[in-house]
Amino acid sequence: MIRSHKPLSILLEDWARWCQGGKSVASTASTMSRIMAEGGNMTFGGGATAPVVDCVELDIEMALATLAKTHPQAVDTLRVDTAAIYTPRLKSNAPQIEKAHYMGVSLRTYQRRLTLCRHHLNNHRS
């Protein structure tokens, strides 16, 4: 359950920055996938500060993990659109048509996948 009254667009911007701060951009692995890979334990290198794991951003990540079970391409589309993952050949402020081309889909499919993610996240808000 996503516990915030902020608009979804603001939450997604915060989530993308959180993913970047948690090194998800460089590794292309989401924080949730790292939590799952570590069996529920977060391990980080010595000296580095760990991202907060009890936050709205983690709630978004958990909601996307459930959506990724049935629609993984939609979740990938949201990550590309918000610059939550590193895309070496694509600027984070590129227009959606370029992002769709990067992903190898039509603009209509790209936007349909974004809409699916946004509806899913709105359904997980309290």
- 46 or 90, which is more confident: 90
> Which amino acid would we find at residue 1?
M
Q: How far apart are CA 89 and CA 73, in angstroms?
A: 19
Selection from 43-52, 81-90, 104-113 with the highest mean pLDDT: 104-113
Characterize 34-71 residue by residue with b for buried, 16 or more Cβ atoms within 10 angstroms of its Cβ, and e for exposed.
Answer: bbeeeeeeeeeeeeeeebeeeebbbbbbebbbebbeeb
Asked whether residue 73 carries a pLDDT value surpassing 80, the answer given is yes
Tokens 């790292």: give the residue: 34
Asked whether residue 28 carries a pLDDT value surpassing 80, the answer given is no
Quote the DSSP letter at residue 114: H
**pLDDT score of 24:** 40
Selection from 14-18, 26-30, 69-73 with the highest mean pLDDT: 69-73
In three-state secondary structure terms, 94 is coil
HSE value, Cβ hemisphere, 13 Å, CA-based, for 55: 13
Indicate the length of the chain as a whole number: 126
